[in-house]
């Protein structure tokens, strides 16, 4: 089954980053017009995610696919998005689908001897797994940030299971 693809308006930057790192193709537009977002989501068959009630009203009236995030809690919003797409489980990251949080590019494993971007010396000495974005070339590694994201994913999976039970 094909994973959903998203487009997130300027009010949902953190949500877009989390969806990307979880492995979802997610476009994020900070200053795009409502018309641009609606047209792009329609032509690319992306689910438009917004906090903007006016934009959501326009999406709903035109029978387009959209979700209105009404909660301030990021975890609840992510669960709402995933439930709306009938997703029951998220794999820990990095996974085969994990995307760059900056540009949405696909991450590829990288041998640390091939690193061209400077990284902190302690990271180079202590970390063995590195990934690089295929588009912007940003380098990622498995550190405490990944541990924290995986704790968030564990919580999301627990909440998704509790909705099913």
Q: What is the pLDDT of residues 87-109, one digit of tens each?
A: 999 999 998 899 999 999 999 99
Is pLDDT above 80 for 115? no
Average pLDDT over residues 27-40: 94
CA distance 7 to 29: 8
Is pLDDT above 90 for 120? no
Q: What is the pLDDT of residues 34-52, one digit of tens each?
A: 999 999 999 999 999 999 9
Is pLDDT above 70 for 111? yes
The percent of residues above 70 in pLDDT, for the chain, comes to 97
CA distance 140 to 144: 12
CA distance 24 to 91: 12
Question: Distance between terminal CA atoms of the chain?
Answer: 23
pLDDT range class, residue 1, cuts 50, 70, 90: low
> Domain extents for the chain?
1-165
Is pLDDT above 70 for 164? no
Which run of H or of E encompasses 54? helix 53-61
What pLDDT was estimated at residue 97? 94
Which run of H or of E encompasses 68? strand 66-68
C-alpha distances (whole Å) from 50 to each of 14, 34, 43, 60 are 12, 10, 18, 12
**34, 15 Cβ separation under 8 angstroms:** no
């Amino acid at each position: 089954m094909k994973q959903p693809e998203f487009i997130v308006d300027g009010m949902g930057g953190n949500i877009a980053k989390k969806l990307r790192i979880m492995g979802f193709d997610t476009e994020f537009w900070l200053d795009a017009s409502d018309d641009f977002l609606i047209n792009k989501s329609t032509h690319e068959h992306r689910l438009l995610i917004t906090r903007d009630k006016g934009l959501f009203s326009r999406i709903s009236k035109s029978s387009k696919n959209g979700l209105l995030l009404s909660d301030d809690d990021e975890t609840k919003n992510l669960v709402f998005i995933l439930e709306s797409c009938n997703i029951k489980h998220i794999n820990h990251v990095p996974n085969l689908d994990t995307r760059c949080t900056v540009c949405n590019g696909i991450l590829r494993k990288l041998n640390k001897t091939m690193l061209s971007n400077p990284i902190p010396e302690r990271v180079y000495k202590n970390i063995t797994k590195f990934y690089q974005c295929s588009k912007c070339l940003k380098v990622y590694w498995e550190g405490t940030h990944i541990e924290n994201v995986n704790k968030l994913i564990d919580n999301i999976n627990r909440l998704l299971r509790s909705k099913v039970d």
